[in-house]
Amino acid sequence: MPATVTPKAKATERPPWSGLEHTTTTARYLRAVNYLAAAQIYLAFNPLLRDPLRPDHVKDRLLGHWGTCPGINLVHTYLNQFILRADASVLLVTGPGHGAAANLANMYLDGSLAEVYPDMTRDLVGLTAFVRAFSWPGGFASHLTPALPGVIHEGGELGYALATAFGAAFDNPDLLVPCIVGDGEAETGPTATAWHSTKFLNPATDGAVLPILHLNGYKIASPSLYGTMDRDDLDSLFTGYGYAPYFAGYDGRPEDEFAAAMEEAYADVRWIQSQARQGQSLRKPRWPMIVLHTPKGWTGPKEVDGKPVEGTFRAHQVPGKGLKTNPVHLAAVEGWLKSYRPEELFDAAGRPAPDLLAACPRGDRRIALNPHALGGAVRRPLTLPSVEDAGVEIVERGGQSASSMEALGRYLRLVTALNQKDRNFRVVCPDELESNKLGAILDVTDRQYTWPVPPEVEHIGPDGRVMEVLSEHTCQGWLQGYLLTGRHGVFPCYEAFVGIVDTMMNQYAKFLKTSMELPWRRQVAALNYVLSSDAWRQEHNGYSHQGPGFINNLLTKKGHTIRVYLPPDANSLLVTMEHCLTSTNRVNLVVAGKQPMPQWLTLAEAREHCRVGASVWRWASSHDGEQSDIVLAGCGDTPTLEVMAAAQLLRDLAPDWRVRVVNVTNLLALGIPQKYPHGLDADHFDDLFPPGVPVVFNFHGYTAAVKQLLFERPNNGRFDLNGYREEGTTTTPFDMHVRNRTSRYHLVMQVAEKVAARRPDTQSRAEVLTRTCWDHLSDHDKYIRQHGVDRPEVVGWRWQPQ
C-alpha cells in the first residue's frame, strides 16, 4: 500500500505564509549576511571597507570555513521571511557548524547576539567588535558552540545534526526544526540512518523536522559523494527513505527555488499535522525534505591564483589566504567583499538599513532566541515517585535474589506513568529494553513508531515514551536534542556497545563544560546512561559483548561534567537513579546487572551508602572491620558478589584474620576532590583505606579506570587491583571471574599472600588457603567442561550472616 502523499490541492484558502519569494529585500539581506560572514573571516579593522583595504586591517591568522556560509545564509534568509509571515516557532539545527560565521552574521543582524553579548551592537563600534571576535582569542570559536544563542548542536564532528533535530521536535507539537545537513555530513553513517526518524515521529503530538540537504558538491579536498548523485538518484533515495523530496537550485535560481520549496514543504507539514490532529489516520505520511544545490563558496571569488574557487573544493576554508603579503590576494578579497556593496547595506553610523532590520523576525521568534533552544530555561523537574514503591525488601541480608534492572524497570514504570501527561520524559534504547529487563516500563506506555507494523508485535504504537531503534547514534542524537530543549531521559544500553557513541558523549560533555561557563545557559537535565548486559553476565553472547571501557571514556572528561555509579544491589541502584533523574548539566553513567543477585542493603542503608559514595560494610567484615590486616573492596555488583563470597570463605577458614569489607558505589569517590566534586577528602579516604593497610580491590571494569583515580592518592602501591582483563568467550558466569582473576578464590589467594607477608605467624594457614583455592579452581575447570554449567557450590552459594 503506498505512502500517504499530500494531495496537490492542499487548501482552498491561501495560508498566511504563502508567496515566499525572492525580493529586493531578501537579495539585500543575503548580500548583508554574506558580507558579514566573509568580513569576520578576514577583517580585524575597517569592517565596512570605508578605507581601501590594507594588510594591517587583516587578521594575522585567517581561520574559518567560507565554503558553506552562503548556503546557510540562504536558508536563514527565507526562514526569516517565512517566520515573519507564518509567525512560526522555528529552531534551526545547523549541521555544517563550521559555517558559524554565517550563523553569527544572522544573529548579529537580527540583534539576538546582542541579547547575550551586549557589546555586539548594530553600529560601527559593535560591528568592529563583532567581525574581530570571530576565531579570535577570547572571542567566538570558528564553529558553532554553546557560547552562541540558539545552538543545541556543537559544530565540528559531523553526523549528528539530523538526529538532534528530531530530538528537539519530539513532544514539541508547535515547533518546526529545519535542519541543514551538509553533503559532507551526509556521508556519515549516523546521518545516513537518522533519515529514518520520520518513521517514529507522531504528527499529532510531535513537532516537525524539515531536513535541508545542502549540496555544494565538495568536502575539504574532494567531490562529495552526494554531489555525484544526480537528481534522479536523490529523488529515489529519499523517496525510499519515506520523504517527499523538493529540489532547489537545479533548474532556476536557488533563491527562487528554495523559497518555493520551503512553501511547498511547510504546506506538507501542516497538512500532515492537521490531518493527524483531526484524528485522520495517515499511513506512512510523506514528510517533506529539501535538496538545496548551490555552488560551494557561492558569490565568493571566482578564481584565485589562476584556479577556479567558487563552486569548487578550493572554496572550503579561506580563499586568497596570502593577503597580508600578496597584493593580488588582497585586491581579490577586497574586490570580492566590495561586490556585496556594504555601503548600500549599512548607514554612516554602521547601522543596518531599515529594510534589513524589517526582514528579521522579532523577539523570541528570532531563530537564535527560540525558547526551546535554551532548554534549561524551559525545563521543569520530573515528578518522581518514591523509591520505596519499587525497592526490594531485605528480609535476610544476602538471602534473596533480585534483579537490579527489574527493580529499576518498576521504578521507571512509575516515573513514566507520573510524567505521562507532561510529555517530558523519554527512554531511548537500541532495541534492548526488554533484553535489559526494563520491560516493566511497557506496562504503562508503548514504543513509539508511526509506520504500520506487522500483526505479531507487542507494546508498539504511534504514541509512547519509549523509542527503540538499532542505532546507538540515533538514540544518543535524539536524547541530546530532547535534553537540550529542556526535557528528561534515560538511555539504557548494552555495556559493550555504548562505546559506539564514545565521541558523541565526548562532544556532549564538551558542550556541557562550555555551557557551565556561561551564566545565561541554564541547567539542563542530566544525560543518564544505564548500562546492563555487562561483561560478566553475557549469557547468549561472548567476547565481543564484553567491554566495560565506556567508564574509561567518561574519565577523560572534566570531573564536574561526569559521574560514574556502580551500585552493588537493587536498592542502591534505585537511590542512584532517583538522584540522577534530579541532577543537571552532567553525564551520569550507571552500571548494573540484569540477572538475579543477592541483595545487601535496605533502602535506608542504600541511601546512606550512596550519599557517601563508598563505605565500610561492617556487617560483612570480620572483627567489625576495625584494625584490619587487609581491606577487601568491591566496586560493581558482580565483583562485589565475589568479594562477599571471599569474605565469607576467609571468615570460615581464617577467623582470626582481620578483614575489612569496603564497597565503592560512586567510582569518583576514589578521585581527589580537587578534580571530582564527589572525591573523598584525604581524611575520609584514609578512614576507608587506612594508610599502611593493603587493599585487594575487585573492580567491574578495566583497572586503568581505578589506577588513574588512585594515582594522586599517596601510597597507591598498596592497592592490588583486579578487573576485566580482556579475557572472555561464551562461557559460564563464574568462569568469567576465573578467566579474569576476579573470582572469590583469586581474592582469597591475594589476601592470603598479603596477610602472610604482614603476619608471618599465619604463613602456614595462608598456604593451606592457597592450596584449597587452587583445588577449587581446578575442579571448576573440569566441571564446566563436562557439564557446561557452574558447580552447584558456586551457583548455590548463599551469604551466611555472622
Interaction residues for its own copies, span 10-29 (CB under 8 A): none
Q: For residue 778, state whether it binds its own copies (rule: CB under 8 A).
A: no
**Nearer Cβ to its own copies, position 192 or 331?**
192
Instruction: Tell me which of 21, 119, 388, 539 binds its own copies, using CB under 8 A.
Output: 539
d(CA 195, CA 181): 11
Residue 112 near residue 90, CB atoms below 8 Å: no
Residue nearer to its own copies on the CB measure, 133 or 646? 133
> Any idea of the CA torsion for 435, 441, 442, 443, to the nearest 10 degrees?
130
The binding track of 779-798 with respect to its own copies, each residue x by CB under 8 A or -, is -----xx-xxx---------
Which of the residues 110 through 139 are near its own copies (CB under 8 A)? 132, 135-138
**Paired residues of 288 in beta bridges:** 244
Q: Taking CB under 8 A as the rule, which mask of x and - marks residues 140-179 in contact with its own copies?
A: xxxx-x--------xxxxxx--------------------
**Interacting span for its own copies (CB under 8 A) from 119-127, 204-212, 410-418, 509-517:** 509-517
Task: Tell me, by CB under 8 A, how many residues bind its own copies.
Answer: 138
Query: In the window 391-450, what residues touch its own copies (CB under 8 A)?
Result: 431-435, 447, 449
Q: Minimal distance in Å, beta carbon 611 to its own copies? A: 27
**415-453 burial, b if ≥16 CB within 10 A, otherwise e?**
bbbebeeebbbbbbbbebbbbbbbbbbbebbbbbbbeee
Of 445, 500, 439, 504, the closest CA to residue 470 belongs to: 500
CA distances from 156 to 66, 96, 184, 554, 664 (A): 15, 8, 12, 20, 37
Contact pick of 74, 176, 500, 695 for its own copies (by CB under 8 A) = 500
Q: Which stretch binds its own copies (CB under 8 A): 387-395, 456-464, 646-654, 658-666?
A: 456-464
Residue 695 Cβ vs its own copies, minimum distance, rounded to whole Å: 13
Nearer residue to its own copies within complex by CB, 341 or 725: 725
Binding letters toward its own copies, positions 79-108, x by CB under 8 A: ------------------xx----------
The DSSP symbol for 628 reads -
**Residue 30 identity:** L
Binding mask 701-720 for its own copies (x = CB under 8 A): -xxx--xx-xx--x-xx---
The binder of its own copies chosen from 5, 328, 470, 768 (CB under 8 A)? 470
**Least distance in angstroms from the C-beta of 302 to its own copies:** 12
Number of H helices, E strands in the chain: 25, 23
User: From the list 81, 188, 416, 424, which residue makes contact with its own copies (rule: CB under 8 A)?
Assistant: 188
By CB under 8 A, tell whether 184 contacts its own copies: yes
Least distance to its own copies, CB of residue 32, Å: 24
566 contributes a contact to its own copies by CB under 8 A: no
| Smallest separation, CB 307 to its own copies (Å) | 9
441 is written with which cell numbers? 516500563
For residue 17, give Cα distances in angstroms to 381, 413, 534, 764. 36, 43, 53, 89
User: 753 burial class (0-12, 13-18, 19+ CB within 10 angstroms)?
Assistant: middle
Q: Find the DSSP H helices in 485-536.
A: 502-516
CA distance 266 to 583: 38
Q: Exactly one of 81, 106, 172, 474 binds its own copies (CB under 8 A); which one?
A: 474
Phi-psi region of 506 (alpha: psi -120 to 50; beta: other; left: phi over 0): alpha
Q: Which grid coordinates belong to 160?
A: 549528528
What does the alpha-carbon distance between residue 767 and residue 670 come to, in Å, rounded to a whole number?
Answer: 32
Phi, psi at residue 24, to the nearest 5°?
A: -55, -40
Selected binder of its own copies within 45, 250, 451, 619 (CB under 8 A): 451
Exactly one of 187, 256, 686, 753 binds its own copies (CB under 8 A); that residue is: 187
Retrieve residue 319's grid coordinates: 580563499
Smallest separation (angstroms) from its own copies to the CB of 353: 30
Q: Measured from the CB of residue 676, what is the shortest distance to its own copies in angstroms? A: 13
Pattern 323-362, its own copies, x by CB under 8 A: ----------------------------------------
Cell numbers found for residue 133? 571576535
Please tell me whether residue 463 binds its own copies under the rule CB under 8 A.
no
Please tell me whether residue 247 binds its own copies under the rule CB under 8 A: no
For residues 201-216, one letter each, b for 16 or more C-beta atoms within 10 angstroms of the residue's C-beta and e for the rest, the string is: bbbbbbbbbbbbbbbb
| C-beta separation of 212 from 186 below 8 A | no
Closest to 740 (Cα-Cα) out of 548, 583, 556, 585: 548
Q: How many CB atoms lie within 10 A of CB 619?
A: 15
Select the span of 121-129, 187-195, 678-686, 754-762 touching its own copies (CB under 8 A).
Answer: 187-195
Residue 185 engages its own copies in binding (rule: CB under 8 A): yes
Residue 696: its H or E element: strand 695-699
Q: DSSP label at 218?
A: B
* Residue 627 interacting with its own copies (CB under 8 A): no
Q: State in Å, rounded, how far the first CA of the chain is from the last one.
A: 68
Pairing verdict, β 488-494 and 425-429: parallel
- Among 28, 65, 426, 658, contact with its own copies (rule: CB under 8 A): 65
The distance of closest approach from Cβ of residue 147 to its own copies in the complex, given in angstroms and rounded to an integer, is: 8
Q: Please pick, from the candidates 5, 11, 27, 220, the single residue that binds its own copies as defined by CB under 8 A.
A: 220
CA distance 32 to 36: 6
Stretch of 239-247, 400-408, 411-419, 660-668 lying at the interface with its own copies (CB under 8 A) = 239-247
Q: How far is the CB of 506 from its own copies (least distance, A)?
A: 6
Could you give the CA distance from residue 136 to residue 220 in angstroms, rounded to a whole number? Answer: 23
Please, what is the minimum distance in Å from the beta carbon of residue 133 to its own copies? 10
- Distance in angstroms (rounded) separating the CA atoms of residues 703 and 742: 11
DSSP helix/strand/coil, 180: strand
Shortest Å distance, C-beta 449 to its own copies: 8
Longest CA–CA span in the chain (Å) reads 98
Contact characters 272-311, its own copies, x per CB under 8 A:
------------------------------------x--x
Please select the residue that binds its own copies; options are 351, 543, 612, 686, rule is CB under 8 A: 543
Of residues 31-50, those binding its own copies (CB under 8 A): 44
Helices 254-277 and 69-86: angle between axes, nearest 10 degrees: 50
- Considering the complex, what minimum distance in angstroms separates the CB of residue 419 from its own copies? 23
Exactly one of 9, 14, 540, 761 binds its own copies (CB under 8 A); that residue is 540
